[in-house]
Chain A
Amino acid sequence: MSTSPEFWTVADTAKRVAAGEIGAVRLVDTMLSRITNVDRELGAFLATDGEGARRDAAEIDRKRTAGQFAGPLAGVTIALKDNLVTKGVATTAGSKILQGWIPPYDATVVEKLRSAGALIVGKTNLDEFGMGSSTERSAYKKTRNPWDTSRVPGGSSGGSAAAVAAGLAAGSLGTDTGGSIRQPAAFCGVVGIKPTYGRVSRYGVIAFASSLDQVGPIARTVQDAAILLQVISGHDPRDSTSLDLPIPAFAEAATGDVKGMKIGLPKEYFQPGSGSLDSEVRTALERTIKALHDKGATTVEVSLPHTSLALPAYYIVAPAEASSNLSRYDGIRYGKRAEASDLLDLYCKSRGAGFGPEVKRRIMLGTYALRSGYYDAYYKKAQQIRTLIKNDFDEAFTKVDVLLTPTTPTSAFRFNARATPLDMYLGDIFTLACNLAGLPGMSVPVGLTADGLPIGAQLIGKALDEVTMIRAGSAIEALGGLGDKRPSGIGGI
């Protein structure tokens, strides 16, 4: 095991800090200086909070010296996607319109991490308000893929995935509205979990599409992701959509045991109409399926007949809700306010200057879909499609325990490679349905392409059954898809 903490797991870090093998302050200093060195080129962080992290680290060291328990994540460094609200630390959601806003409160997930002893090292880059799949739509900077700096890290949680892959934090949180945790996790060769809708509080999560958004962990191992999920899950009286249900022992689910497990292979995901599934991705999935079979799992082909409707339904629901959620950015109470001659001018100029083109595009799409007289034709119809998609999954889950699909049709693409919005949207075809149905999903690395780019497999679980999904994920992880390879694209790694 490495004596330098950059690539220690969450579990290992917590153990070492608790044992006094390394002081939390020393650990966080090492991580912060690594961020300083590496992130100039990587661009994963929008801001770091060295002062806050050191202060909290000192408190952990004080508690440990005094013989007190400092929390299950004491000393574990965490990066937060910058759409998670942090008290006293600037939060931008990757948008100019929130430039300079210092939130007066912490998101529930941030509170939970802090009280577990986690050290928040900084806020990571994202596509503006989570709208994008490459982090290229951030209003602030470019984030590079640590495996190949000429390529995107995926998105919208690109900064969170890149930071973890590059060893700049032990784990991170992202948000996933249509694949925004799983897709960058796949591109960056890390593990990302989107929990069941309602499992994790959305209080303090800057909303993109409220009925789809969910916070989840990104880590380098399945167990690490499970440990983080354990900490952030649970009912929150401040979020009316959060579920008041007991939290299973996620952290103990990563057993790698899939004997007798029935794994469904949705045929529509392996033969998409566009034929865009990359052959290397397909080969990696087929190898994984065979290996799981060898471990005692049975694999069953299933059908999700309404899969092709997921993308159009998503691009009604998500922009409609986004157009509403983003109405609050008017330049009146916080964020950027333009100089203007009257009220209408103030709105037009503030929003005109504050939002980027992709955000504007989606606000317009959503505004159109919600026009008086069009609700039935668009939003309501899309909600009906959601029910059909959900029914597809329910039907499939009468036969199988978990579903296995590629996370993305291809590995990480080059900057500016997805020229039109539709090209970009089509990259998310495998991840959207999971959000529309509210189901848990995760991405686990299964191998590298010939060019050395990570490939991810997606697991989709039954509602509330993250445990089976995590168990299957740990079995895939144990196949050793990435070998002992680490990202090599960034200098200093």
Chain B
Amino acid sequence: MTELAQLLEDYEPVIGLEVHVQLATRSKIFSSSATAFGAPPNSLTDPVVMGMPGALPVFNRTVLEHALKLGVATSSQIRAKSRFARKHYFYPDLPKGYQISQFDEPLCENGHLDLILNGAVKRVKLQRIHLEEDAGKNTHVGAVSHVDLNRAGIPLVEVVTAPEITSSEEAAEFMRSLHRLVRWLEISEADMEKGQLRCDANVSVRLRGEDRLGTRTELKNINSFKFVQNAIDHEIARQLRLIDSGGRVERETRLWDAVAGQSASMRSKEEVNDYRYFPDPDLPPLVVDGATMATVLRTLPELPVPRFERYQKLLGVSADDARTLVGDRALADYFDAAVKAHPGEGGRTIANWMLTELLGALNAANQDISQSAMPPERLAALVVLVETGVISGKIGKEIFEESYRTGEEPAAIVERRGVQQISDEAMLWSIVDRIVGANPRQAQEFQSGKDGLFGFFVGQVMKETQGRANPVITTDLLHKRLGR
């Protein structure tokens, strides 16, 4: 059997993702029934959600605003007049026997999502983003099956990528980027554990250089970033081994079993439903009016990838730090607020303090940035104290810790504790001179080449000044006094 790595030199994986994102609205997409996670079964229903005879859908306009934000943020073409269509299949969690979705006239088309992959920006094309209603949930207890319709009618967008993702890493990064984007836009909580972000993957392989796509399989139920990567890797390997052993990939739907770490065939092509799509006669065309579009454009925040680039180009932040900062909108907003409060160009330094001291404190308390006890303006003020040499970096860390704990202003703590840095050369010279004079043996050994002893002298000065000695001046004076 050929090694997998060898096969991957000859063959190229091609992956397309279909991602469902639940939109965070207070009521459902076609009824006033409330949305919530974890409510008692079937408590969030009404005649519309239950698909009762005579009940009719009415579109919740908030859903449109949410979806438009995503459409604009992905540079999609927005259809001024899109349509809802009925997608038919029978299943107990689908009360009407059809799902209201969009078919040949979706809201958004031809957009793209930019990923930050290995420090660079990689663009993934989106074929479409359309609106639809979620189905309910079946649960099976022994021989008895239950249907919970609380989830039925929760608004979804389905994001469909072009089949041009070429690795499982890229697929997982796509999911992370989409997750970040929808949270950034505040249109979804996108909690994968709650099923608010769900992914199906179409996977095929082809000989490198081949234009035509290979036969694809659809992987369902891959509902964590890790599973996305594992399931796709597993499927690529399965297909390559199949081809290597003379077999052929069959068009089928496979269900990922995260516990077993493998997939199993769910249904073959022959069993594929004919969904009998047609425009829903209960709903007029969905018209994007100017006022809604204006609101969306006005309230759209600066997006993660443009910020990632701005932080590097204009603020001198490293690519790694910039990537971390745009990992979460609240983090990036905190950073921007701190930079704004800083009188100079403190971007790079602020990023350092944020990502080490502040995130350190938050992580230790298992908190996120929204729970930060230190407002961005105060962090900026502390950074200024260090940058202007009022305190040393080392003291700065102590001041941070105390200020974070007590809420006291850094300048006030410095004043009260009298820990201003000593930068007065004459004063430092007298200390340096005294210490070198009091340790003749160490001075001699240093002068004869024992470099490690330099630290001893710095330490002595710091001890004498309780850490307040300006380290740059101190170093300079010690070299002068020791003669090397």
Of B172-180, B276-284, B435-443, the one touching chain A = B276-284
A-side contacts of B53, CB under 8 Å = 85, 91, 93, 98, 101, 103, 206-207, 328, 334
Contacting pair A328 B281 (CB below 8 A): no
Of B55-63, B225-233, B250-258, B293-301, the one touching chain A = B55-63
A-side contacts of B274, CB under 8 Å = 371-372
Chain B 57-100: CB-based contact to A (< 8 A → 1; otherwise 0): 11100000000000000000000000000101010100111100
Contacting pair A321 B281 (CB below 8 A): yes
Chain A 87-104: CB-based contact to B (< 8 A → 1; otherwise 0): 000010100001001011
A321 to B282, CA, bound (A): 10
Verify if B54 is at the interface (C-beta below 8 Å from A): yes
Q: Which residue of B lies closest to A317 (CB)?
A: B281
Contacting pair B281 A204 (CB below 8 A): no
Contacting pair A324 B90 (CB below 8 A): no
A204: which of B50, B54, B92, B283 is its contact (CB, 8 Å)? Answer: B54
B-side contacts of A379, CB under 8 Å = 278
Known: A240-B59, A320-B278. A330 touches B54 (CB 8 A): no
Verify if B47 is at the interface (C-beta below 8 Å from A): yes
B-side contacts of A329, CB under 8 Å = 97
B278: which of A93, A203, A375 is its contact (CB, 8 Å)? Answer: A375
A379 to B277, CA, bound (A): 11
Contacting pair A237 B95 (CB below 8 A): no
Verify if B341 is at the interface (C-beta below 8 Å from A): no
Verify if A105 is at the interface (C-beta below 8 Å from B): yes
Contacting pair B278 A328 (CB below 8 A): no
Known: A324-B98, A375-B278. A333 touches B50 (CB 8 A): yes
A370 to B276, CA, bound (A): 5
Contacting pair A324 B278 (CB below 8 A): yes
Verify if B275 is at the interface (C-beta below 8 Å from A): yes
Chain A nearest CB, measured from B126 CB (Å): 24
Q: Which residue of B lies closest to A335 (CB)?
A: B53
A327 to B92, CA, bound (A): 11
Which of under 10, 10 to 19, 20 to 34, or 35 or more describes the interface residues of A? 35 or more
B-side contacts of A104, CB under 8 Å = 47, 52
Contacting pair A334 B52 (CB below 8 A): yes
Contacting pair B276 A371 (CB below 8 A): yes
Contacting pair B55 A372 (CB below 8 A): no
B58: which of A101, A206, A210, A240 is its contact (CB, 8 Å)? Answer: A240
B-side contacts of A203, CB under 8 Å = 54-56
A-side contacts of B276, CB under 8 Å = 323-324, 367, 370-372
Verify if B51 is at the interface (C-beta below 8 Å from A): yes
Give A71-123 interface residues, CB cut-off 8 Å to B. 84-85, 91, 93, 98, 101, 103-105, 107
Chain A nearest CB, measured from B201 CB (Å): 23
A238 to B33, CA, bound (A): 13
Contacting pair B95 A333 (CB below 8 A): yes
Contacting pair B55 A210 (CB below 8 A): no
Contacting pair A324 B86 (CB below 8 A): yes
B-side contacts of A84, CB under 8 Å = 54
A-side contacts of B59, CB under 8 Å = 240
Chain B nearest CB, measured from A239 CB (Å): 5
Give B258-282 interface residues, CB cut-off 8 Å to A. 274-278, 281-282
A-side contacts of B56, CB under 8 Å = 202-203, 238-240
B282: which of A93, A101, A241 is its contact (CB, 8 Å)? Answer: A241
Verify if A347 is at the interface (C-beta below 8 Å from B): yes
Contacting pair B90 A347 (CB below 8 A): yes
A320 to B88, CA, bound (A): 12
Contacting pair A240 B282 (CB below 8 A): yes
Verify if A30 is at the interface (C-beta below 8 Å from B): no
Chain B nearest CB, measured from A310 CB (Å): 18
Verify if B147 is at the interface (C-beta below 8 Å from A): yes
Known: A203-B55, A206-B53. A327 touches B283 (CB 8 A): no
Contacting pair B147 A103 (CB below 8 A): no
Verify if A377 is at the interface (C-beta below 8 Å from B): no
Chain B nearest CB, measured from A287 CB (Å): 40
Chain A nearest CB, measured from B146 CB (Å): 11
Verify if A211 is at the interface (C-beta below 8 Å from B): yes
Verify if A205 is at the interface (C-beta below 8 Å from B): yes
Contacting pair B54 A107 (CB below 8 A): yes
Verify if A422 is at the interface (C-beta below 8 Å from B): no
A-side contacts of B92, CB under 8 Å = 330, 332, 343
Known: A204-B54, A239-B56. A330 touches B282 (CB 8 A): no
Contacting pair A240 B57 (CB below 8 A): yes
A333 to B277, CA, bound (A): 24
Chain A nearest CB, measured from B33 CB (Å): 13
Chain B nearest CB, measured from A418 CB (Å): 28
A330 to B274, CA, bound (A): 18
Chain B 143-176: CB-based contact to A (< 8 A → 1; otherwise 0): 0000100000000000000000000000000000
Chain B nearest CB, measured from A129 CB (Å): 10
A-side contacts of B278, CB under 8 Å = 320, 324, 370, 375, 379
A327 to B86, CA, bound (A): 11
Contacting pair B282 A210 (CB below 8 A): yes
A-side contacts of B52, CB under 8 Å = 85, 103-105, 333-334
Chain A 183-204: CB-based contact to B (< 8 A → 1; otherwise 0): 0000000000000000000111
Q: List 6 A-B contacts (CB under 8 A).
A: A206-B54, A209-B281, A239-B58, A320-B278, A324-B88, A328-B53
The 3 closest A-B pairs by CB, nearest first: A327-B97, A370-B276, A210-B281
Other contacts beyond A210-B282, A330-B97, A371-B276: 14, CB < 8 A: A93-B53, A104-B47, A104-B52, A239-B56, A240-B56, A240-B283, A241-B284, A327-B90, A328-B51, A333-B51, A343-B92, A347-B90, A370-B276, A372-B276
Residues of A at the B interface (CB closer than 8 Å) are 84-85, 91, 93, 98, 101, 103-105, 107, 202-207, 209-211, 237-241, 320-321, 323-324, 326-330, 332-334, 343, 347, 367, 370-372, 375, 379
